[in-house]
């Protein structure tokens, strides 16, 4: 975060990029070492400024936090390497340092949300990351990027204000902002009508940021018109962190009993996520702009994650957390592949991608492999999380839900096939000669694709962490 | 009666919140939407500040007692919501600034700040 103003002051884009890369890689190192420490030691607590909790702001890092932080930092580190060439083409030279500053700020905000243990701190970091995200989206080339950023700003600020209302109501009933302290004090006052109202405001606010159907309206435009690196970074991180926030609030602050038994959360979230999966996959099939197609697919995938959470069982929450990780990898790879296409072809419309399978073999191969992961073919990460999801559904005896998950996968086949068909079986445009994308953009893309295969074949590492995290959440606080 | 007049603050909060939210959703002018957002956020600020006031409480500043130390048993209003709202005000200002600069750019690109006209221009494209 300290490096952000420094990056902004740099005159030349290359220097700003170097600073941004240093910041992102260092963040990756820090978050991985945090995860390893948490796996050994248990929960890490750090009191900011030396003021002990609950008077001061506390950073409380447990398994879920560290896992999410690693995801965010990893995607950030890969995306920043990718950004150098991509941004050089899409954003003018004098604005590029500002872009990198916004990138670092956004990363800071997202990491801050993952590790904090104080609810108002969550709001502050949420706004830090959101505001920098709005400005990054607005740097897109198409003029619709501006309206997309504006729409995201309005909806995102409304969501954040709802969260603040929820936090305020919680504070007035319990007198504390620390998450652990809140969890201890809420049961005593839970009968008062204020607490369910606070719960509702928080849920609506977070689902707005999360882009759960029907509050997803900002997402397609924001992802489509933003610069390619921004889409790759944001698609893999911003919504994931909001899912993490949901987990935090439901399980740690309010507790499983309140959220699921009293407030009937599963009855609310499950239908919405099922509709998200079916409706959004359907809409994705009819899109002409491939980035827009992937954006609608993202809303459907978020539906999967929330579906896992709405089961409320260890398997379900594990599936949700696993899908967090896996979707970050898959969508990151897919959007980076589209960025490569944008770089060379200058357009992401389906028609413009005709015959790219021959001209840009590596890029389209990355797209196909990422798409296979999205569908959930065995050997990829997508399969692992779908497997857990179906298991969780069957454990509860809900065969219809498992069926809907499968139907969602089939629809993913349709829209991935649309792109594959045009790319591999179409005729390349004779006047427009395109070469393969530059290595500096291909390598990050393939890093994510290979990671999605590696974690798909050997899923024990992530599955263990996710299961342990889910158990920690469901068990409540130590 | 005490319900209405004693809680006048909260009634004002609700009214402002709804006015702001309605403006945000229903108006098509982009600047009016931002103003609605700001009214909404101001209502939330007022809500927090109303939470902080304790009946009969004085300002949360140390009062000197008889021997130069802090006096005991002073009823003071809660300063924490005020602190939180300072942060929220800053966030609101930043959001408003960002939103308005976006509107300026949109005006340059589209020639209008009316959402319906912008959508029409996009669809015609």
In this predicted model, what pLDDT tens digit does every residue of A402-442 receive, in sequence order? Answer: 888 888 888 888 888 888 888 777 777 666 666 676 777 77
The kind and range of the H/E element at A47 are strand A44-47
**Positive/negative CA dihedral, A46, A51, A53, A57:** negative
d(CA A346, CA B122): 19
| Interface contacts (A, B; CB < 8 Å) | 73
Structural domain includes residue B11: yes
Q: How far off is chain A from B16, nearest CA to CA, in Å?
A: 14
Question: Bridge partners of B70?
Answer: B64
Taking CB atoms and an 8 Å limit, are A165 and B44 in contact across chains? yes
A134, A144, A150 member nearest B30 (Cβ): A150
d(CA A363, CA A436): 7
B47, B91, B95 member nearest A153 (Cβ): B95
Taking CB atoms and an 8 Å limit, are A171 and B106 in contact across chains? no
Q: What is the pLDDT of residue A405?
A: 85
Which of B52, B16, B55 lies closest to A172 in space, CA to CA?
A: B52
d(CA A114, CA A75): 14
Mean pLDDT of the A212-219 span = 82
Task: Report whether pLDDT(B23) > 90.
Answer: yes
pLDDT tens-place string over residues A335-392: 888 888 887 777 777 777 777 777 777 788 888 888 888 887 777 777 888 888 888 8
How many domains are there within chain B? 1
Question: Bridge partners of A178?
Answer: A118
Task: Report whether pLDDT(A106) > 70.
Answer: yes
Task: List the single range of A162-176, A394-408, A424-438, A444-458 with lowest mean pLDDT.
Answer: A424-438
Q: How far off is chain B from A123, nearest CA to CA, in Å?
A: 9
pLDDT tens-place string over residues B111-125: 888 888 888 887 776
Which of A30-44, A223-237, B69-83, B91-105: highest mean pLDDT? B91-105
Structural domain includes residue B65: no
A60: which DSSP letter?
E
Preferred mutation among B10, B37, B98 to probe A, highest tally of A CBs within 10 A:
B98
- B13 reaches A (C-beta below 8 A): no
Q: What is the pLDDT of residue B97?
A: 94
Preferred mutation among B17, B47, B50, B88 to probe A, highest tally of A CBs within 10 A:
B88
Contact residues on chain B for A135, CB-CB shorter than 8 A: 98
d(CA A478, CA A180): 10
SS3 A61: strand
pLDDT tens-place string over residues A112-143: 888 888 888 889 989 988 998 898 888 887 77
Q: Is B53 left (phi over 0), alpha (psi -120 to 50) or beta?
A: beta
Contact residues on chain B for A127, CB-CB shorter than 8 A: 91, 94-95
Q: How far off is chain B from A18, nearest CA to CA, in Å?
A: 26
- B40 reaches A (C-beta below 8 A): yes
A352: which DSSP letter?
G
Structural domain includes residue B84: yes
Q: What is the pLDDT of residue A159?
A: 92
Specify the residue for token string 């900002």: A218
What is the token pair recorded at A281? 């996959």
A2 against B42, higher pLDDT = B42
Taking CB atoms and an 8 Å limit, are A153 and B98 in contact across chains? yes
What is chain B's length? 125
Dihedral (C-alpha) A338, A340, A344, A347: value to the nearest 10 degrees? 20
Which of B41, B107, B87, B10 lies closest to A150 in space, CA to CA?
A: B107
Mean pLDDT of the A219-233 span = 84
Provide φ and ψ at B121, rounded to 5°: -65, -40
What average pLDDT does chain A have? 79
What is the token pair recorded at A300? 């459907």
B74-102 burial string, b = 16+ CB within 10 Å, else e?
Answer: eeebbebbeebbeebeebbeebbebbeeb
Q: What is the pLDDT of residue A349?
A: 76
Whether B58 and B77 have beta carbons less than 8 Å apart is answered as: yes
Alpha helices by DSSP H, listed for A44-143, are: 63-90, 96-115, 119-138
Structural domain includes residue B63: no
Structural domain includes residue B60: no
d(CA B27, CA A323): 38
Task: Report whether pLDDT(A330) > 90.
Answer: no
Q: What is the pLDDT of residue A11?
A: 47
Contact residues on chain B for A165, CB-CB shorter than 8 A: 44, 47
- B99 reaches A (C-beta below 8 A): yes
Q: Which residues have CB under 8 Å from A331's CB, separation 6+?
A: A232, A235, A236, A294, A297, A298, A301, A370, A374
> What is the ipTM score, two decimals?
0.90
d(CA A171, CA B64): 30
d(CA A139, CA A135): 7
Model confidence band, residue A65 (pLDDT cutoffs 50, 70, 90): confident
Whether A381 and A318 have beta carbons less than 8 Å apart is answered as: no
Query: pTM value?
Result: 0.87
Alpha helices by DSSP H, listed for A263-380, are: 265-285, 290-311, 314-345, 356-359, 361-375
Task: List the single range of A116-120, A121-125, A157-161, B15-19 with lowest mean pLDDT.
Answer: A116-120
A349: which DSSP letter?
B
Which of A275-284, A322-331, A423-432, B82-91: highest mean pLDDT? B82-91
d(CA B46, CA A20): 39
SS3 A289: strand
Q: What is the pLDDT of residue B1?
A: 63
Preferred mutation among B91, B105, B114 to probe A, highest tally of A CBs within 10 A:
B91
What average pLDDT does chain B have? 84
A53 against A45, higher pLDDT = A45
Host domain of residue B116: 2-53+71-124
d(CA A272, CA A401): 12
SS3 A91: coil
Q: Which residues of A touch B (CB under 8 A)?
A: 120, 123-124, 127, 131, 134-135, 138, 143-144, 146-147, 149-150, 153-154, 157-158, 160-161, 164-165, 168, 171-172, 177
Task: Report whether pLDDT(A478) > 50.
Answer: no
Preferred mutation among B16, B19, B51, B102 to probe A, highest tally of A CBs within 10 A:
B102
Structural domain includes residue B21: yes
A142: which DSSP letter?
S
Chain A residue with minimal CA distance to B97? A131
Whether A344 and A311 have beta carbons less than 8 Å apart is answered as: no
Q: Which residues have CB under 8 Å from A174's CB, separation 6+?
A: A181, A182, A185, A186, A189
pLDDT tens-place string over residues A304-316: 888 888 887 788 8
Whether A379 and A349 have beta carbons less than 8 Å apart is answered as: no
Taking CB atoms and an 8 Å limit, are B41 and A157 in contact across chains? yes
pLDDT tens-place string over residues A242-261: 888 888 888 877 777 777 66
d(CA A292, CA A415): 11
Contact residues on chain B for A158, CB-CB shorter than 8 A: 21, 24, 37, 40
Model confidence band, residue B69 (pLDDT cutoffs 50, 70, 90): low
Question: Bridge partners of A118?
Answer: A178
Q: In Å, how far from its chain's centre is CA A51?
A: 32
Q: What is the pLDDT of residue A255?
A: 74
Task: List the single range of A91-95, A171-175, A225-229, A468-472 with lowest mean pLDDT.
Answer: A91-95
A264: which DSSP letter?
-
d(CA B114, CA B125): 17
Interface of B with A in 56-85 (CB under 8 A): 80-81, 84
Taking CB atoms and an 8 Å limit, are B33 and A172 in contact across chains? no
Structural domain includes residue B58: no
Contact residues on chain B for A164, CB-CB shorter than 8 A: 44, 88
Q: What percent of chain A has pLDDT over 90?
A: 4
Q: What is the pLDDT of residue B66?
A: 60
Task: Report whether pLDDT(B39) > 90.
Answer: yes
Is cis: bond before A54, omega within 30 of 0? yes
Give the CATH number, domain containing residue B79: 1.10.287.3510
d(CA B65, CA B80): 24
pLDDT tens-place string over residues A265-291: 777 888 888 888 888 888 888 888 888
Whether A276 and A212 have beta carbons less than 8 Å apart is answered as: yes
Taking CB atoms and an 8 Å limit, are B102 and A134 in contact across chains? yes
Angle, in degrees to the nearest 10, between helices A314-345 and A381-395 = 150
Q: What is the pLDDT of residue A50?
A: 62
Q: What is the pLDDT of residue B113?
A: 82
A120, A127, A157 member nearest B84 (Cβ): A120
Structural domain includes residue B119: yes
């Amino acid at each position: 975060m300290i490096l952000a103003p420094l990056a902004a002051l740099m005159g030349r884009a290359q220097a700003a990029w170097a600073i941004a890369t240093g910041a992102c890689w260092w963040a990756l190192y820090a978050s991985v070492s945090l995860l390893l420490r948490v796996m050994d030691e248990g929960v890490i607590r750090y009191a900011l400024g030396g003021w002990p909790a609950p008077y001061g702001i506390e950073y409380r890092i447990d398994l879920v936090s560290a896992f999410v932080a690693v995801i965010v930092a990893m995607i950030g580190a890969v995306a920043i390497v990718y950004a150098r060439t991509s941004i050089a083409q899409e954003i003018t030279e004098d604005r590029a340092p500002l872009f990198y500053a916004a990138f670092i700020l956004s990363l800071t905000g997202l990491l801050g949300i993952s590790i904090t243990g104080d609810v108002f701190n969550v709001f502050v970091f949420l706004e830090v990351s959101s505001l920098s995200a709005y400005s990054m989206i607005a740097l897109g080339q198409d003029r619709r990027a501006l309206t997309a950023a504006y729409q995201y700003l309005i909806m995102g600020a409304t969501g954040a204000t709802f969260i603040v209302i929820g936090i305020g109501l919680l504070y007035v009933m319990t007198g504390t902002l620390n998450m652990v302290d809140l969890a201890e004090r809420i049961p005593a006052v839970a009968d008062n009508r204020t607490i369910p109202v606070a719960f509702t405001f928080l849920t609506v606010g977070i689902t707005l940021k999360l882009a759960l159907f029907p509050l997803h309206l900002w997402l397609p435009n924001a992802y489509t018109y933003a610069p390619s690196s921004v889409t790759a970074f944001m698609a893999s991180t911003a919504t994931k962190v909001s899912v993490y926030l949901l987990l935090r609030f439901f399980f740690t602050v309010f507790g499983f009993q309140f959220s699921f038994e009293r407030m009937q959360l599963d009855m609310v979230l499950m239908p919405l996520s099922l509709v998200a999966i079916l409706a959004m996959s359907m809409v994705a099939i009819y899109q002409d702009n491939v980035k827009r197609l992937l954006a609608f697919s993202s809303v459907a995938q978020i539906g999967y994650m929330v579906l896992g959470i709405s089961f409320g069982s260890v398997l379900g929450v594990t599936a949700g957390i696993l899908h967090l990780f896996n979707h970050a990898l898959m969508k990151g790879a897919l959007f980076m592949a589209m960025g490569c296409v944008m770089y060379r072809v200058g357009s992401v419309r389906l028609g413009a991608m005709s015959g790219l399978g021959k001209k840009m073999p590596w890029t389209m191969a990355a797209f196909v492999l990422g798409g296979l992961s999205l569908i959930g073919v065995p050997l990829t990460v997508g399969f692992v999380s779908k497997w857990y999801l179906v298991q969780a559904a069957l454990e509860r005896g809900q065969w219809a839900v498992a069926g809907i998950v499968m139907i969602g996968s089939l629809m993913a086949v349709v829209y991935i096939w649309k792109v594959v068909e045009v790319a591999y079986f179409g005729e390349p445009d004779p006047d427009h000669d395109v070469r393969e994308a530059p290595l500096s953009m291909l390598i990050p893309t393939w890093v994510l694709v290979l990671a999605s295969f590696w974690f798909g074949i050997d899923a024990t590492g992530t599955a263990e962490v996710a299961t342990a995290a889910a158990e920690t959440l469901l068990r409540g606080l130590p | 009666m005490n319900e209405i007049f004693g809680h006048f603050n909260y009634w004002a909060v609700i009214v402002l919140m709804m006015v702001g939210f309605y403006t945000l959703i229903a108006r098509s002018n982009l600047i009016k939407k931002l103003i609605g957002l700001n009214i909404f956020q101001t209502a939330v600020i007022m809500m927090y500040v109303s939470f902080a006031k304790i009946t009969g409480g004085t300002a949360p500043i140390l009062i000197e007692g008889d021997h130069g130390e802090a006096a005991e048993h002073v009823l003071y209003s809660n300063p924490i919501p005020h602190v939180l709202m300072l942060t929220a005000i800053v966030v609101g200002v930043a959001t408003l600034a960002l939103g308005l600069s976006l509107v300026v750019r949109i005006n340059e690109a589209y020639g209008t700040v009316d959402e319906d006209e912008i959508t029409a221009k996009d669809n015609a494209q």
